[in-house]
Structures are given as C-alpha cells and as structure tokens.
Structure 1
Amino acid sequence: MSKHPGDRRDGHPVARFVALLETELAALVDAPTWSLDPATTADLVPRLAGLVAGVQELEARVVGHAGVLDLPASIGARSLAVWLARTTRVTGAEASRKARLAGDLAAHESLRVAMAEGRVHGEQAKVIAAAVGDLDGEHFSWREKAEAHLLDEAAHHDAHDLKTLGRRILETLDPDKADEHEARLLEAEEARARKKARFAMWDDGEGLAHGRFTLPSAQASMLRKALTAIAAPKHVRAEHGAGTYDHERPTPEKLGLAFGEYVERYPADQLPAMGGVNATVVVTMTLDTLNGGLAAAHLDTGLALAPDQARRMACEAGIIPAVLDGAGHVLDLGRRRRFHTPAQRLAITLEQQHCQHPTCTTPAAYCHTHHTTPWSQGGTTNTHDAVLLCPFHHHQTHATGDTHPLRT
C-alpha cells in the first residue's frame, strides 16, 4: 500500500499518481519474471524505458518547482542540487545532473512533452537542449525548427549520434553557415578541454604505479591509436611456433602492457630538448582550412578538430596533412613540414631568450618556434622568419591571427 493513502483520494493529480505508482510497484516486488515469454519481454523493455523517461520528466518538473519555492533555503542549502542530494541521498554529481535536466526541460517545452510521452530519454534530452541552446545570434530564430528536427531524429539515433547531428544542425537549416557554426562549437569545446587536462601518477611501493589522467579528445585519440597499434591482434608464430595466432581484441591488460611498451619504445633522442611537441598524426582538411578557413578538420581516427587547433598542430607537431580541394580530391598527402634544426633553435634562443609576446617572459626552453609567415603560405624554416612563443600565446596567435613584433 502507499505510504500516503490520502494522496489517492483528494491530493494533487501528481501526488495521486505517485501514490498509485508506489502501490502498484509494491505489489510487483515479488512478481517473477521467469514466466515472461521472449516476445513479451522484448516488448516490455522499450515500453519500460519510455515509462522511466516519463517519470524522470515528472521528477524534473517537481524538482524545478522545488527551486521556484526556494526549498533549498529551508535547510540552508546553497543550491538546488545540494538540496536534492541531501533530500534524496544521491551523489552530488547525480543531483547536479537532475537539476540541469529540470532547467533544460523548463526552457524547452516541446522537448519536455516528448520526454513526458516517453519519446526521448534523459541522455537524448540533454544533448538536444545543448544543441538548440548553441544556436544564438543570427540563428536564434532557428531554435524551434532545430528542436523539432532533433526530436524527430531521436526516434532513430542515440545521444552520441544526436550530439553529432546537433553540431551539424545548420546543414539542414542553413547550409551556408554550417561549417562556421561547427568550427565555433569545436573551438569552445576544445578550450574547455584544455583547461581540464590533468595527469597524476603514484607508486604503490609494490612494483606498480597507478595514475589518472584527463586529456582533450584529440590527444586521447592519438594515444588510443598508438596503443591499439601495439596491442592489436597479430600473428605470433615467430615467437610461439607455426599455427599460433592471437585472435583476441585488446583487453585492458594488453592495453596496459602496450602503454608500457609505448613508453619504452619512445626514442629518447626524439624527446623535445627545448620545448615543442612531438606527435605525428594524419589530419584531413580542405586547402581553405589550412589557409585560415572555418571548416573543421578531422584526424584519421575520425575525431573532429577546430580549424585553429589543426593549424597550430601543423605549425609545430610534424603533422602529415592530407590537403583536399573543394571536391574532396587529394592535393597533397605525406608532405612532412620541416622543423627548425637544433642549431637554428639555439641561435633563435640566444637572440630572443623568451616568448616574444610583449607581455610575456616565458623562458625559451618552454616556448614553441613559430613561423611569422605561415608555412601554409610559403613561409620558410630559418632564423629570420621565426619567433619564440609560449604555448598560450602560440595558440592565441593561430586562434586570432594576431602578430607580435619582435622585442628589441
């Protein structure tokens, strides 16, 4: 029976529903599921997912109302999420997610109704609200159409695919602005990712080191590709005799061993001695993007990059560009850019000593060597056409196109 029987007789409709649901669920506590046949089971799973979505929408609506009533203040909580965590005993992260969902649904009525009807679930609602919210400025008026389009697509795509579709929503609504819109979103996402990058490692004293890291998706994609190449299934007959094969996909254990091998194999003479980075990847971009255009670039792993990050990497990281024309034909593949030699780097260091941005004194050892005339525009690798820039100002130079006069 419901803990609140009065709700079923004369309470608010929401209270009556919750009381009824409590009663019905209590009656099913010991109901066996083994007697469900395959067809019924297959039918019930998506129906239950829809019901859960509807209940989550109702919960979000009530949580939002708790904020309107300022219930957090009744216990001295500093936010709705803190009040929710305390009241329902969920973690702070989960409470924050629920509070954000309440705000998203309150701001998007069509999305709220779709979730109440079980047509979208919480993950999908989150990415749809984010994609619609990203339409601002001249595209603010497209929000209603974008929301309707993504709600239709939610019937066929999961949250991951919806995020991609949301980022490219203007291909459907305003194709001429689609590339610029996606590039702007990628730049903002990558800027947030750089601020959250972390690495921590500690030794347990028993022969093992443990660690945690947070990397931007682009660099994580490079690491994943390198480890997969080492741990990938391969013929092992050379080591274990004829007829011996390794068919398994890389397990966490194999990837861990691959990471150790990756560290051991990394050539010490290739480590940057005076700053710079040392990654070699294949980036596919249009010639217009390489020369300063707004379309996104893509790693050969499929990850999208903001154009300014691709150009910054091309300047410093030994990138192998696959440059395409407007029709998608390869113009140049495998042309590796030339680094400044150690002797050139030493001469530049002796002359400039530190970052050449007027407000920065970062030592040369921590700076990148930047071509004042972009390599993509015919710049040459010499000591006269180079300035030292710290990673921050190097990124800013490629992101904004600013030029910095040499110090005297």
Structure 2
Amino acid sequence: MHPIIECADDLGAALKGVASVEPAFMSVGEKQSALVGLVEVRSQLDALLARVLGASDDVAAAHGLRDAAAWLAVETRTTRREARRDLALGRALAQHPWVATALTSGAVRTEQARMVVEAVDALPSHVGASVRDDAEEALLRLALQHDARELKQIGKRILDVVAPEVGESHEEAVLRAEEDRATVGVELTMVDDGEGRCRGSFVVPSHVGAMLKRHLLALANPARHAEDELRDESGEWKPLRRRLGEALIEYVERYPVDATPQTAGVNATVVVTMTIEQLLGETATALLDEGSRMSAGQARRLACEAGIIPVVLDSKSVPLDMGRAARLFTKSQRIALGLRDGGCTARGCETSASGCHAHHDDPWSRSGLTDLANGRLLCPRHHRLAHDSRYAMTVHADNKVTYARRT
C-alpha cells in the first residue's frame, strides 16, 4: 500500500479512537496543547491534500474532466470553489518549495501559505528570481508573527523590505490598479420587498466604505443612547449589525435638506401626499410619490425633522398646504434645545442630546410653530411613540413627558 494511503488510513483510525473522548474534561493546559497541535496537524494535512491534488491531472484525464478538482468535488460532496482553491494551492506549492516545506511542517497556516504565494506571484515581471526568493523567505519569517489578513497587506509592500529601490514605484502601481478596478466596479442595488422593507447591496471603493462606516459607528455609539435604546424587544443587547442598520436610517432621515442634490432645480426630496383627514387621523395612511405607502403617524414623525415635503389635499384633491424646509428646527434652535432639555425629555430616558430628534409638541400637521416653546428633544424610540396613535403622550410641569398605551 502506498505510504500516503497508509497515512490517510492511520489518521482515520486515530480520529475514530478519540471520537468518543469528551474534551470538556480536559484541563486548561491540555486544551491549549490540543488546540495548537490540532491546528498544526490540520495545516500539514491541507498541504498533503493540496500536493496530491496538484499532481492528479491524470485523474481528470481518466474521467474526461477539466481538472481533478471537478472529480474530487463530486466524489466528496465538496463545493467546486473549495476544491479548486485546494488545486490552486497544490500547483502553487510545486512552484514554491519553501512555502510547501513550511506548510508541510505545520509552521504556517493554509491561508498564510496562500497569501505568501499570492504576494510573490504578484510581484512585477521585471523583478529577478533572487528578489522573489528573498521576498518569499521574508514573508515566511513574518508569518510567524502575523496572520493571513496582515500578511496580505504586508505582501503588497514586501519590496520595500527586500528591494527598496523598486518597492515604492511598485506599490504606487498596485494601488492605482486597485483604485481603477474599484472605480469601474462601483454599483448599488435596491429592491423593495413589498412588505415594508427595502433590501440592497453595494460595492464602493474602500475609502468610501471606511468613511460611511465611520459615520454610522458615530451614530451607533452607545454613549449617544440610553440603555433601553441599546436593547431589543426581548431585552437582549442589540447586535452591532442592527445598531448600524438603525444608524443608517437616522443618517438618511436626518440628512440636511439644503445639502441634498438637485434635479431640474429641485432638491431630491420624497413627497408624501395625504388628505387633511388622513393627516389628522389616527389610523390613516399616506402615499409616497414613488407609489408606496406609509402610516400617517410615520409621515407626521418625519415631518418634524426629515427632508420630506408633505402635500396636504382637500376633499377635491386640491393642495391645501405644502410643507417647506422652514418647518425644520435650525442648527441654533437645536443647540438651544440641547442646552435646555439636556437630552431626551421622556421621563427615565438617558439618551444624550446628540442622539435625539427635535419634536413639535403642537404638531406641524396642526399648524404648530417651529420655535423653542413648541419644541422638545426626543430619542428616536420616544419620537416614534409620540406619533404612534396607539400611545398617549403627557407633558408634565417639569417639561418631561410620559407615554401610556391607549385602551
């Protein structure tokens, strides 16, 4: 029997021998040793699999397939993508014997080996073999202190270490190529699911993604919110992805109206149309200019701060009033409200002023004025309740408000 087949059989038998062993009863030291040892063995096994797969073109030919990865994927129920990654690694190890030795010995991880190979192969064609060898050797040394993600970044600048005279110009060329690809690949998709939600995805240059994430993280900062704002409906802490989603909503709804782009001389603005009865009613709905609908309570809430234009119609569909951005509180008024209220005015809420919306006590929909006497700060949650017809809001003598569910 071939030694590699014997090895596979021995590994299988050894694993079966410990299948019934309960790791929970191991000591801390034993678990630490086992975890490190198993990761090293997994690297060695990955190397052996990749090497065998890279040498199996005859298997593909025997079955009339493009490569051995296609046969292996079917036989082992592995995805073709995963099998082809292993095949690519196997072929790369044949061209990079130092990386193959490091992975086979368990000194580096599989993803680290891939990053080293990719970095060396990405070096410009005019770089000589000796420089490539130096780069590979340097990256393998660095792999002892850095994970695969860090190695990928280091690999882009490895010429600065082994050949500084060509490193700077190469890095600039690599970055320029990345930026060109990012510009060409920009895209955004948005689809309304018909159930009150919009789903989407986007691809933007890395610096734009970093800027957007920084903005949303600032809005999602726990310091801006009271503890109850940071918990979900079941009382558990909201995961970061939900807090970032809520931050995106706030980012869009509170975008400065005067900063929105213009089309045909008009700021890009959502128009909400409703009759006077719908605007004042507790169970009414409103029509958005792109065809979808929202509750009148939602429209009234957005009218406090968001950049929407409410168009109120009479019974004959003649516009009675068109809201303007002047109904929104100015920056100076917001500062004054922050100084006066200190934060959310809902009793028991500790949300800071920076995390609050400006709300009209006497609603704009009922001709309420946009002035300090008619304004107050409410956090997003309590602002929603203020416009929710299922709740009654009471203003107390100390300017605090409380809510009670209507019966």
SS in structure 2 opposite 1:138? Answer: coil
- The one-letter code sitting in structure 1 at the alignment partner of 2:9 is A
SS in structure 2 opposite 1:205? Answer: coil
Greater Cα shift, 133-142 or 153-162:
133-142
**1:193–1:227 CA distance, 2 compared to 1 (3 A):** same
In structure 1, the residue matched to 2:21 is 31
In structure 2, the residue matched to 1:126 is 114
**Residue 119 (structure 2) pairs with residue 137 (structure 1):** no
Q: Is contact 1:146-1:169 (8 Å) kept?
A: yes
Alignment size in residue pairs: 255
Q: Shift of the alpha carbon at 1:200? A: 2.3
Matches within 5 A, 1:278-297: none
Q: Shift of the alpha carbon at 1:44? A: 1.5
Matches within 5 A, 1:338-377: none
Q: Is contact 2:50-2:86 (8 Å) kept?
A: yes
Distance in 1 (CA, whole Å) between partners of 2:187 and 2:3 is 49
In structure 2, the residue matched to 1:169 is 158
SS in structure 2 opposite 1:135? Answer: coil
Q: Is contact 1:228-1:250 (8 Å) kept?
A: no
In structure 2, the residue matched to 1:182 is 171
Give CA-to-partner distance per residue, 1:256-297, whole Å, 9 cap, x none. 01111222233454344489xxxxxxxxxxxxxxxxxxxxxx
Q: Shift of the alpha carbon at 1:158? A: 0.5
Task: List alignment gaps of at least 5 residues for structure 2.
Answer: 230-236, 265-407
**1:56–1:206 CA distance, 2 compared to 1 (3 A):** same
Distance in 1 (CA, whole Å) between partners of 2:27 and 2:44 is 26
Matches within 5 A, 1:160-309: 160-236=149-225, 251-273=240-262
Which is higher, the Rg of structure 1 or of structure 2?
2
Q: Is contact 1:233-1:249 (8 Å) kept?
A: no
**Residue 148 (structure 2) pairs with residue 159 (structure 1):** yes
Q: Is contact 2:120-2:132 (8 Å) kept?
A: yes
Distance in 1 (CA, whole Å) between partners of 2:256 and 2:219 is 15
Q: Shift of the alpha carbon at 1:215? A: 2.8
TM-score between both structures, scaled by the size of structure 2: 0.58
In structure 1, the residue matched to 2:48 is 58
**1:197–1:250 CA distance, 2 compared to 1 (3 A):** same
Q: Is contact 1:232-1:250 (8 Å) kept?
A: no
Q: Shift of the alpha carbon at 1:78? A: 3.4
Distance in 2 (CA, whole Å) between partners of 1:24 and 1:92 is 28
In structure 2, the residue matched to 1:42 is 32
Q: Is contact 1:115-1:125 (8 Å) kept?
A: yes
Give CA-to-partner distance per residue, 1:270-329, whole Å, 9 cap, x none. 344489xxxxxxxxxxxxxxxxxxxxxxxxxxxxxxxxxxxxxxxxxxxxxxxxxxxxxx
Q: Shift of the alpha carbon at 1:49? A: 0.6
SS in structure 1 opposite 2:66? Answer: coil
% identity of equivalent residues: 35
SS in structure 1 opposite 2:48? Answer: helix
Pick aligned residue for 1:110 from 98, 110, 118: 98
- The one-letter code sitting in structure 2 at the alignment partner of 1:109 is P
Runs of 4+ in 1 over 4 A off after TM superposition: 271-275
Give CA-to-partner distance per residue, 1:100-140, whole Å, 9 cap, x none. 21222122110011000001111101111111112233323
Higher strand share: 2
What CA RMSD, in Å, does the superposition of the two structures yield over aligned residues?
Answer: 2.5
Distance in 2 (CA, whole Å) between partners of 1:115 and 1:171 is 25
Q: Shift of the alpha carbon at 1:192? A: 3.5
Q: Is contact 1:170-1:177 (8 Å) kept?
A: yes
Q: Is contact 2:53-2:69 (8 Å) kept?
A: no
Pick aligned residue for 1:17 from 2, 7, 11: 7
**Residue 88 (structure 2) pairs with residue 100 (structure 1):** yes
Task: List alignment gaps of at least 5 residues for structure 1.
Answer: 1-10, 241-247, 276-408
Distance in 2 (CA, whole Å) between partners of 1:163 and 1:224 is 22
**1:52–1:177 CA distance, 2 compared to 1 (3 A):** same
Q: Is contact 2:157-2:171 (8 Å) kept?
A: yes
Distance in 2 (CA, whole Å) between partners of 1:249 and 1:206 is 23
Q: Is contact 2:124-2:170 (8 Å) kept?
A: no
- The one-letter code sitting in structure 2 at the alignment partner of 1:212 is S
Greater Cα shift, 219-228 or 92-101:
92-101
Q: Shift of the alpha carbon at 1:53? A: 0.2
